Amino acid sequence: MSETAQQRSRIMRAVKSRDTKPEMAVRRLLHRMGYRYRIHRSDLPGKPDIVFAGRRKVIFVHGCFWHGHDCPRGARTPASNTAYWTAKIARNIERDHETVVQLANAKWATLIVWECGLRDQTALADRLKAFLG
């Protein structure tokens, strides 16, 4: 089934940058684990999705496609407008790297949670506990 350009445009406009399903899943898990946090602090580089100011730790929840993860979902290349999407994802990867470096220089620890990593909630909880512990 092929999409028209208008359908694809409508779908892409609906993609949010905050309060996404993966982000909400991580936030709910952290809350169940007893952690309290702030979200989207604009005074920090990259506006981290989840911020633990007292611990100087931040978590970014990345969508595999949008941030160029090496999993099957992130490695997909769109069939149309390939040059645009390849360049866009490359810019996202570069920006993410610069953000992590800026945070490290400011003495903030960073954890990136990938969308595909949400499937195994037990492993994710262990990873979050180790990072925040």
pLDDT per position as a tens digit, 16-65: 678 899 999 999 999 999 999 999 999 999 999 999 999 999 999 999 99
Mean pLDDT over the full length of the chain: 92
Determine the residue type at 24: M
Residue 18 has phi, psi (to 5 degrees) of -135, 155
pTM: 0.87
User: Is the model more confident about 47 or about 15?
Assistant: 47
Instruction: Check whether 74 has a pLDDT greater than 50.
Output: yes
Which residue ranges form the domains of the chain, and what is each CATH number? Answer: 5-132 (3.40.960.10)
Determine the residue type at 52: F
- pLDDT tens across 78-92, in order? 888 899 989 999 999
Residue 22 has a CB neighbour count (10 Å cut-off) of 18
Instruction: Check whether 2 has a pLDDT greater than 70.
Output: no
